[in-house]
Amino acid sequence: MDKSVSTQQATVFCGIDVSAQSLAVALIGPEGALGQREFHNSASGHQRLVDWLGKFGILVRVSLEATGIYSLDLALALDAAPGIELAVLNPKLVNRFAETLRRSKTDAADALVLASYSQRMPFVRWQRPQAKHLELRTLSRSIGGLVQEQAALKNRLKTAQSTATTPRLVLADLKRALSGVERRVSRLRAEAQKLILADDQLRQRYQLLLSVPGIAQVGGVSILSELLLLAPEMGARQWVASSGLDPAHRQSGTSVNKPSRISRAGNRHLRAALYRAALSAARCDRHLSGFYQALQRRHKTGMQALMAVARKRLHAIYGIFKTATPYDGKKLFPSMQIEKSALAA
């Protein structure tokens, strides 16, 4: 069946709760629940699921939560299947929706919640990422994991070296492990650079990122690899929301008036990379540094000011990608406008 079938024919809604080993599937039709089944989370299980959904002969709208490697292969299989439209949802958004519906927490109940979400909420079609973009993101996230392992080993080695009671064998083992991780990081970083330089669009965007003060090669790869998988039609505000950097206000009447904080309902890898870039920007970008200081003068906490810097920086990245022009802090924050911009943040 052609995927261009009108939404009026999308009478079957499917929710899939994904775990490492299994897929809990729930279906809702025009008259209510159609049934629930379970499939193995494997290539053969994905094919059996696609065959089962294809038996309905009409468009099936499927919703599942983004669960990293556990859901990616399934999403690719569903997206390639005729007669199926797929939405990959932010788990935190589904959680909020689920609070009004479910009375119990089981895989089957979660699948039914996801099917209800497909039926009741605006359906945003998942954009299938390019293979090279997925490869770059996988490389970047693998590098991130190894860097954390590298930091932990450095701390262990420092602790071991601080006492004369540590056997030489233990010190040698820690040094050997640390050296091995450092080589692996270097090898993966070289492969990421090779992948970027081999593609015109990736190379151009990477160079634009490097024009931004506070973003060097490591941060540039991390930010680029996460942004590549965002839908092309998204705007700057949607970028901010997808990173979880959008403000979440907590006010109710006169009794509840808590400080605003970021929603965190988004990509934690992108958010972490932008936070690291914001730390540098607050020091080395005079425009964003002025913005940061102005916010603090208006009694924002250090973290609130940094998150505002990260949001502004993400808006700037959206702009330089859109216009294909290097970063210019004067356009983002003309010196005479800094105080005014801080008031509006």
Same domain, 237 and 285: yes
Token code pair at residue 295 = 């916010």
Token code pair at residue 256 = 């509840």
Model pLDDT, residue 305: 92
Residue 233 confidence class, pLDDT cut points 50, 70, 90: confident
Same domain, 165 and 275: no
Lowest mean pLDDT among 223-237, 241-255, 322-336: 241-255
Domain that holds residue 142: 131-198
Same domain, 51 and 135: no
Q: Where are the alpha helices (DSSP H) in the chain?
A: 43-54, 69-80, 91-98, 107-120, 131-161, 168-197, 200-210, 217-227, 236-243, 268-284, 286-297, 302-323, 329-332, 338-344
In a domain, 294, yes or no: yes
Residue 315 has pLDDT above 60, yes or no: yes
Residue 3 confidence class, pLDDT cut points 50, 70, 90: very low
- Please, are residues 15 and 113 in contact by the beta-carbon 8 Å criterion? yes
Question: Cβ of 198: how many Cβ atoms within 10 Å?
Answer: 10
pLDDT per residue as tens digits for the range 142-194: 999 999 999 999 999 999 999 999 999 999 999 999 999 999 999 999 999 99
Looking at the DSSP bridge assignments, the partners of residue 12 are 60
pLDDT per residue as tens digits for the range 284-303: 888 888 889 989 999 889 99
Average pLDDT over residues 112-122: 89
For the chain, what is the domain count?
3
Same domain, 228 and 336: yes
Nearest to 312 by CA among 164, 213, 204: 213
Token code pair at residue 271 = 């958010």
Give the C-alpha separation, 222 to 218, whole Å. 6
In a domain, 177, yes or no: yes
Same domain, 180 and 104: no
Average pLDDT over residues 229-253: 80
Give the C-alpha separation, 46 to 39, whole Å. 8
Choose the final residue of a domain: 120, 143, 166: 120
Question: Cβ of 110: how many Cβ atoms within 10 Å?
Answer: 23
Q: Would you give the DSSP letter of residue 234? A: -
SS3 312: helix
- Please, are residues 10 and 85 in contact by the beta-carbon 8 Å criterion? yes
Token code pair at residue 98 = 């689920």
Q: Would you give the DSSP letter of residue 336? A: G
Residue 48 confidence class, pLDDT cut points 50, 70, 90: very high
Model pLDDT, residue 70: 83
Neighbouring residues of 115: CB distance < 8 A, sequence distance ≥ 6: 13, 14, 15, 26, 27, 28, 63
Give the C-alpha separation, 133 to 241, whole Å. 21
Same domain, 109 and 40: yes
Same domain, 319 and 238: yes
Same domain, 237 and 305: yes
CA angle 270, 274, 278 (to 5 degrees): 170
Model pLDDT, residue 252: 47
Token code pair at residue 112 = 């039914």
In a domain, 295, yes or no: yes
Choose the final residue of a domain: 99, 120, 141: 120
In a domain, 209, yes or no: no
CATH number at residue 59: 3.30.420.40
In a domain, 108, yes or no: yes
pTM of the predicted protein model: 0.81
Average pLDDT over residues 205-223: 95
In a domain, 232, yes or no: yes
| Higher pLDDT pick, 4 / 28 | 28
In a domain, 215, yes or no: no
Lowest mean pLDDT among 7-21, 94-108, 249-263, 325-339: 249-263
Same domain, 322 and 236: yes
